[in-house]
Structure 1
Amino acid sequence: MFVINETLSLPEDEIQLEAIRAQGAGGQNVNKVSSAVHLRFDIHASSLPEPYRSRLLALNDHRISAEGVVVIKAQQFRSQLKNRYDALARLRELILSVTVTRRRRVATRPSQTARKKRMDSKSRRGQTKALRGKVDPAG
């Protein structure tokens, strides 16, 4: 079982991990060893609760394909095991991001004192700017 938090976990067969060759600099190690990890997680076929699945699919994240598959490529480390843990940690963070429900903001109005204070500061500012005008030499 892949544990996400105390109340949520996924069967390991829902997550596909594949070892691939990493890209970029690294010389012989990168060219010969399949140390990078490609993680695939199908949201539609998962056992996640429906609200979490719909929130995941609604996310505007480049790691989620149009078919609803999360694709994470981990190639930061030289070790395949560390890359595997990194990919799983990133999947965990992605799923945890949709488990948190934000409280709805309640629209409030400024108090009468706050409105009066704002208008006073605006009129003071206007008077300061009016004093910056041209001085009339005649009068």
Structure 2
Amino acid sequence: MEKEKIITELQFKAVRSSGAGGQNVNKVSSKVVLSFDLNSSKALSEEEKLQLENKLATRLTSDNMLILNCDEDRSQLKNKEIVTKRFLNIIAAGLVVPKIRKATKIPKSVIKKRIKDKKNLSEIKQLRKRPDLN
């Protein structure tokens, strides 16, 4: 994945922010909506697309579009930077291949120690009982 190439495929749209803010909110379109079409991306290989489709299944729309919003700052430019960083982090996290777990055996010495400890504890508990005088 090349960052520069994938950033050129992003579409940005500026919309008015919701919520409190007075005159600034009513006049300025500071909220930024980022959309990325996973299917038509040329920066990603087919394997990467499949991997992202599986990992980001809950975040993608039905036609494999990733849509992110940002209205944290009053500046449109700052919001664009924030949402772009967030997008790159999501893509990078989605492309991480998990390590394959190797099954390991429990060493015989550990098993012997556990059984010895169990026998020892059992013996201690047996000695706590009242002696049988019959």
Q: TM class by shorter-chain length?
A: 0.7 to 0.9
Q: Which residue of 1 aligns with 2:47?
A: 51
Change in CA separation of 1:65 and 1:124 when aligned onto 2, cut-off 3 Å: farther
Deviation, 1:100, is 2.3
Secondary structure of 1:9 counterpart: helix
Answering whether residue 53 of structure 2 is matched by residue 63 of structure 1, we say no
Unaligned residue ranges in structure 2 (runs of 5+): none
Gaps of 5+ in 1: none
Change (3 A) 1:41 1:126: farther
Distance 1:104 1:52 in 2: 18
- Cα distance in 1, alignment partners of residues 40 and 110 from structure 2: 53
Partner of 2:21: 26
Q: 1:102 to 1:32 in 2, by over 3 A?
A: same
Size of the alignment, in residue pairs? Answer: 132
- In the alignment, is the contact (CA less than 8 A) between 2:52 and 2:95 conserved in 1? no
Q: Per-residue displacement from partner, 1:64-109 (whole Å, max 9, x unpaired)?
A: 2222110100111111001101111111011111332222111111
1:128, 1:22 → 2: CA distance?
71
Alpha-carbon separation, structure 2, partners of 1:116 and 1:88: 56
With normalisation by structure 1, the TM-score equals: 0.78
Contact 2:34-2:67 within 8 A present in 1 as well: yes
Matched letter for residue 110 of structure 1: I
Matched, 1:101 2:115: no
- SS of equivalent to 1:70: strand
Q: Percent identity?
A: 33
